[in-house]
Amino acid sequence: MNANTSTMKKYQRPKKGHYLQRGLTTAKYVILGKEINEGLLFKAFLYTIFIATSYIYLNPILKMIVNMVMSERDLINPTITWIPSEIYMGHIKQAWKALHYGQAFSISMIVALSSAVFHCITCALAGYALARLEFPFKKIVFGLLIVAFIIPPQVTVLPTIIGYTKLGINDSFLTLIVPSILGFGVKGSLFVIIFRQFFLTQPKELEEAAKIDGASAFRFFLKVMLPLAKPALLVVFLFSFVWTWNDTYLPKMFLVDSQYLPLASEMLSLDRVIESFVESQQMSADEAGAVKMAASFLAILPPLLIFLIFQRHFVEGVERTGLVE
CA 71 to chain centre: 32
Pick from 23-32, 179-188, 309-318: least confident:
23-32
DSSP3 helix / strand / coil % (the chain, rounded to 5)? 75, 0, 25
Give residues with Cβ within 8 angstroms of 246, minimum separation 6: 264, 303
How far apart are alpha carbons 218 and 223 in whole angstroms? 9
Dump the DSSP string for 106-153: HHHHHHHHHHHHHHHHHHHHHHHHHHH---TTHHHHHHHHHHHHHS-H
Per-residue pLDDT tens over the stretch 302-324? 988 888 888 777 777 666 665 55
Confidence of residue 110 (pLDDT cuts 50, 70, 90): very high
Which residues are within 8 A (CB) of 254 and not within 5 positions of it... i.e. 6 or more apart? 160, 161, 164, 170, 171, 175, 176
Neighbours of 123 (CB within 10 A): 26
Q: Residue 98: CB partners within 8 Å, gap ≥ 6?
A: 270, 273, 274, 277, 291, 295
> DSSP secondary-structure letter at 173?
G
- Euclidean distance between CA atoms 296 and 263, whole angstroms: 10
Q: What is the pLDDT of residue 17?
A: 54
The pLDDT confidence band at residue 125, using thresholds 50, 70 and 90, is very high
8 A C-beta contact, residue 236 and residue 189: no
Q: Which domains does the chain have, with CATH numbers?
A: 16-68 (no CATH), 94-320 (1.10.3720.10)
Task: For residue 148, give Cα distances in angstroms to 1, 76, 85, 141, 321.
Answer: 95, 51, 54, 10, 21
pLDDT tens figures, 185-238 = 788 888 998 899 888 888 888 877 878 878 788 888 888 888 888 888 988 999
